[in-house]
């Protein structure tokens, strides 16, 4: 019977964990940039090249392309939901608008990732079902803005998110879509006149 090697000292294990976390972050950053640049057909080899890490390191972190896509989507949703509690603004209406702008960037940037996921997995995959989390995160912002009479009560948050998604899907560049989105936000924040009493 051979003797097992002694366990590594705690500092070495902690260093390896830190290295692994840095590698994972580098891969996700590279994948985000790669999908934004080349779309849903981006290969794992391209992600590895952009990350500056070997393919073995990439596959040790993400065994399949689908796992990588899912990790990108989950990370982005986490950021958007967290932003709802951290957005800045002097009024409830400004805070809602700031969060909707963050959501607009998310929808615009995530499209290649979602397209890639839909091509590889069942659309009932819970990773793709992000709407409930977004609604829960954003509803306090909308309610506060409506209570302050800074945003119309004509639309629910569900409808507002659909509006943002619809604008994000308009063909053309971000520069083409941005003024359309700004106008939609202006309309959302303009209160209709009160009916005469």
Are 175 and 82 contained in the same domain? yes
Contacts of 139 (CB under 8 A, 6+ apart): 157
Kindly report the length of the chain: 197
Q: Where are the alpha helices (DSSP H) in the chain?
A: 10-38, 44-51, 55-61, 65-86, 92-120, 131-147, 157-168, 174-189
- Residues 41 and 29 occupy one common structural domain: yes
- Tens digits of per-residue pLDDT, 67-79? 998 898 888 889 9
Contact assessment for residue 143 and residue 155, using Cβ atoms and an 8 Å cutoff: no
pLDDT at residue 18, rounded to an integer: 81
Query: Are residues 43 and 72 located together in one domain of the fold?
Result: no
Are 74 and 141 contained in the same domain?
Answer: yes
Q: What is the pLDDT of residue 120?
A: 62
Indicate whether 74 and 171 sit together in one domain.
yes
Most confident range, picked from 4-18, 102-116, 150-164? 150-164
Rounded mean pLDDT of 32-36?
87
Neighbours of 184 (CB within 10 A): 17
Whether 72 and 154 map to the same domain: the answer is yes
Instruction: Please check whether residues 56 and 30 belong to one and the same domain.
Output: yes
CATH number at residue 46: 1.10.10
CA 137 to chain centroid, in Å, comes to 13
């Amino acid at each position: 019977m051979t003797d097992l090697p002694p366990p590594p000292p705690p500092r070495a294990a902690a260093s390896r964990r830190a290295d692994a976390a840095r590698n994972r972050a580098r891969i996700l950053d590279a994948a985000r940039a790669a999908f934004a640049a080349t779309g849903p057909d981006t290969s794992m080899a391209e992600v590895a090249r952009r990350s500056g890490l070997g393919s073995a390191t990439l596959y040790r972190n993400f065994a399949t392309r689908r796992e990588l896509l899912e990790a990108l989507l989950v990370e982005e949703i986490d950021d958007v939901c967290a932003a709802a509690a951290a957005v800045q603004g002097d009024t409830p209406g400004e805070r809602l608008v700031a969060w909707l702008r963050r959501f607009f960037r998310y929808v615009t940037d995530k499209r290649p990732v979602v397209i890639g996921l839909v091509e590889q997995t069942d659309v009932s995959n819970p990773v793709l079902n992000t709407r409930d989390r977004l609604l829960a995160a954003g509803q306090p912002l909308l309610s506060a803005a409506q209570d302050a009479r800074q945003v119309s009560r004509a639309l629910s948050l569900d409808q507002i998110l659909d509006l943002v998604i619809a604008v994000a899907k308009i063909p053309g560049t971000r520069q083409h879509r941005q003024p359309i989105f700004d106008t939609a936000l202006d309309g959302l924040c303009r209160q209709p006149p009160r009916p005469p009493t």
